[in-house]
Amino acid sequence: MVSVTESLLREGLVARLNDLELDRFLRVYEQGYMENLKCMDFVLDPFPRWSVVVGYFAMHDISKLLIAKKQMLKVKGEKAHKVAIELLKELVKDKTMAKMLEEGYEKFRSLADELDEGRRNRIRAQYYKGTPVLEEQWKKEARFFAGEVRKFVKKVEELLG
């Protein structure tokens, strides 16, 4: 039976990192997830939807860091988010981590879908600002999601050693 990793390599969705590339990719992913965490906290109250977006990217970047460090693979292409989830499922024994990343991706995608729908329909400017009730709901959801992001990052940091 072919592993998920081997299948993804054959499809060209991941590539092996050589020794020269590895250090650079590790630095980029580490810097990326740390910056995204800081940004998530910085924009949490004034821009809660953006907090969710960058929070998810913190999860995605630290996942790619783990994949690069443990498997010497880089995730590439349009399907990078789903590929990272699949590799994480195969890599870690704690299946809840892959589920957390997947849920973060779905939250991110739902925001992108809302934005796309707003663009297509050209709805009034209120869409972007929202009502006070809607804004408060977004803040509440963003705060909860930020807590989930921090839990996920902590688990991956433990795996990174």
CATH number at 87 reads: 1.20.120.330
Radius of gyration of the chain (CA): 17
Q: Which residues pair with 16 in a beta bridge?
A: 73
Provide the token pair at 30: 């580490």
What is the pTM (predicted TM-score) of this model? 0.82
Three-state DSSP state, 46? coil
The residue segments making up the domain with residue 148 are 4-160
The amino acid at residue 76 is K
**Spatial distance between the Cα atoms of 159 and 151, rounded to a whole number of angstroms:** 13
Which one is predicted more confidently, 68 or 155? 68
136-154 pLDDT tens trace: 888 898 899 999 999 999 9
30-55 pLDDT tens trace: 999 999 999 999 999 999 988 988 99
State how many domains the chain has.
1
